Amino acid sequence: MKSKGTVFVVDDDPEIRRSLTGLLEEVDLPVQTFSNAREFLEAYDPTRLGCMLLDVRMPGMDGIALHKTLKNKGITIPVIIITGHGDVTMAVEAVQRGALDFIEKPFRAQPLLERIHQALSLDAENRRRQAENEAIATRVALLSQRQRQVMALVVVGETTKVTASILGLSTKTVDYHRAKIMETMQARSVVDLARMLEVIENGQPPPLQNCHATAASS
């Protein structure tokens, strides 16, 4: 069965932790809670699929500092900021720095759950893209220097004849390299090959985020 991912709750308020644990368990979502940032950092495994509900104000390292620490470590877990009314400006700044969203206390269950499911789907998609990125890079590493030269010309639309002329090769040799490139890269077409190279050259495209505040209870 496909993992649903874990919701990591980091909040110093035990009542909030209990409330969120109960809510998430009701909808069969795995949840793990932490009372402070350091506790989370010591226990967190970045390979685990999940998202985070992060309180802004906590003793010691606050939520904003924890979010910055995660970004500095290259940890891309989707973060939903939990904030009181007085901390909205801080929460908005966190969203501008890459947090997925923020919610205000007191929060309503359904909008929060919808945002959590979106965050878990986003993390799964980011991990899929990263795995694809790494697989493509691994296949490129298997190519010889000459094959990479041929590939660079192929993906910009140069013909076998032109490629052979530029590299000082016979057309037969170019055709051989093209066939090996397509086989090694597992590309179905030149267009597919070009897409792969664009992925590893540009890195992962940033996920589309519909950033907005999740409404507090009315």
- The three-state DSSP-derived secondary structure of 97-138 is CCCCEEEECCECHHHHHHHHHHHHHHHHHHHHHHHHHHHHHH
The Cα–Cα gap between 155 and 186 comes to: 14
Average confidence (pLDDT) over 96-119: 90
Does domain 6-127 bear CATH number 3.40.50.10490?
no
Average confidence (pLDDT) over 176-198: 94
Within the chain, all domains assigned CATH 1.10.10.10 are found at: 142-202
Percent of the chain with pLDDT over 70: 90
User: What is the model's pTM?
Assistant: 0.76
Within the chain, all domains assigned CATH 3.40.50.2300 are found at: 6-127
Confidence of residue 203 (pLDDT cuts 50, 70, 90): low
Residue 36 confidence (pLDDT) above 70: yes
- Output the CATH code of domain 142-202: 1.10.10.10
Q: Residue 204: its pLDDT value, please?
A: 47
Average confidence (pLDDT) over 76-105: 85
- N-terminal to C-terminal alpha carbon distance within the chain: 38
Q: What are the backbone angles phi and psi of residue 75, rounded to the nearest 5°?
A: -90, 120
